[in-house]
Amino acid sequence: MKNTYLIVCALFASCASSTPELDNVRVNEVRHLTDAEVERMEGIDVEEWNAARSNILRTFAFRALESNLIEEAREYLSEACEVNPEDTVCHAALARLFLAEGEVTKALAYAERAALFAPNDPEINMVYAAALAESGQTEKASETLEYAWDAIENDPSFARVILTHYAATGQTEQAQDFVSAMLREDPQHASSWTTSGDLLLSQGDLTAAAEAYRTAINMDPNVDMPESIRIALNETAAGIDPMFSAAQSAENSGDLDSAINLLRFLIEREPQNELFLMATARVYWAQSNSNQAQNFLSRVAVSKRDWRGHILQAKLDITNKRFTQARTALMMASSDRDGIRSIELLMQYVDSKIAAVTTDSTAL
């Protein structure tokens, strides 16, 4: 069962930058040093050098990813993991990369290693859970997410990850129990009510979901909310940036290169702006660059994507034959904007593919 939707962060976002004093080291010099040569270097501790070398390789890996050099990034990450078996960042990043490519066994091995050395890291646990879910170990994936939740309770984005996991794996009762427990144990926290609203929204009850969010907003006016909830609560969005408007016009007219240039400038100014990131992902998709489209879309949390973002995720999942995951994205798109014909058609296609896989499995 495909569940890599758990990986909601960009692959390169989790990489720490290299240390300034090592930035000018040429990569070939790093890659061709043997352990024996390192040991002969006077005054340098082997373990310290390996950690530094791993950090350099990690930096080159993420720069390669930013340039869409996937194969090169994979080689750098693999070498970094060999140099420093306890480099959890590189192990988790490589696991994400293998998950995106559908190599579940390799992804699970690296994710498991990362979780072994960083058992309390929520992001690593999320990657590990995704790998477990991909490999069909749904119950263990749920346990991993629940373990991480115990360490970071009241994080609304992580609560949504757990909720989405339950929904996509058909664990309806577990989803309801999870939300009920949040409301029972901490009814005065806004995240309890936003999670309740998310569950109600996934069940198609927009009115009840809006009321849950209204309660959350009374506790915390800065609560993030899906666009459909914002509309239901009569919230108005801020004025559109003129440059973003120009980027949208370029996108709509088919001038994709101009659209990308404008959007890149906007993202440099506001690197976390969800609208800019989703628009960039759409343009890359229109240019048939699915890797970059996924990279930019992954930088937007699932809970903050609009219906167009969900549809794009579904298309990316369909391209990679992740049909269960695509169905989840389409359900979210439908919750945000019901009645769109393209969503219905994509849902029919995805359902037919899932049915075909089920039939083949039964026949075996």
> Hey, what are 128's tokens?
């590990």
pLDDT at 32 over 60: no
> Which CATH architecture does the domain made up of 1-135 adopt?
Alpha Horseshoe (1.25)
CA distance linking residue 80 with residue 239, whole number of Å: 45
User: What residue spans define the domains of the chain?
Assistant: 1-135, 153-237, 242-363
pLDDT-based confidence at 45, cuts 50/70/90?
Answer: low
The domains spanning 153-237 and 242-363 adopt the same CATH topology: yes
Give, as one character, the DSSP assignment of residue 33.
-
The pLDDT, as a whole number, for residue 294 is 94
CA distance linking residue 6 with residue 127, whole number of Å: 7
H/E run at residue 344: helix 341-363
pLDDT-based confidence at 277, cuts 50/70/90?
Answer: very high
pLDDT-based confidence at 360, cuts 50/70/90?
Answer: low
CA-CA-CA-CA torsion sign (83, 84, 85, 91): negative
Distances in Å between the Cα of 199 and the Cα atoms of 168, 203, 301, 312, 315 are 12, 6, 16, 22, 24
Question: Which of 13-22, 131-140, 156-165, 346-355 comes out lowest in average pLDDT?
Answer: 13-22
Instruction: State the average pLDDT for the chain.
Output: 77
**At CA 325, angle to CA 321 and CA 328, rounded to 5?**
140
309-350, pLDDT tens digit by residue?
999 999 999 999 999 899 998 988 887 776 677 888 888 899
Could you tell me which residues come within 8 angstroms of residue 135 by beta carbon, excluding any fewer than 6 positions away? 104, 105, 108
Distances in Å between the Cα of 167 and the Cα atoms of 5, 64, 129, 170, 182 are 12, 35, 15, 5, 17
211-235, pLDDT tens digit by residue?
888 888 888 877 877 777 877 776 5
If we measure between CA atoms, which residue out of 224, 297, 308 comes closest to residue 263? 297
| CATH top-level class of 153-237 | mainly alpha
Contact between residue 13 and residue 304 where contact means Cβ atoms under 8 Å apart: no
pLDDT-based confidence at 280, cuts 50/70/90?
Answer: very high
CA distance linking residue 157 with residue 146, whole number of Å: 14
Q: Is the pTM of this model over 0.75?
A: no
Which of residues 228 and 30 earns the better pLDDT score?
228
73-104, pLDDT tens digit by residue?
788 888 888 878 888 888 888 888 888 778 88
Give, as one character, the DSSP assignment of residue 17.
P
Mean pLDDT of 112-124: 83
CA-CA-CA-CA torsion sign (345, 347, 348, 350): positive
CATH number for 242-363 (one of 1.10.540.10, 3.30.530.20, 3.20.20.80, 1.25.40.10): it is 1.25.40.10
Question: H helices of 256-322, where?
Answer: 256-269, 274-286, 290-297, 307-319
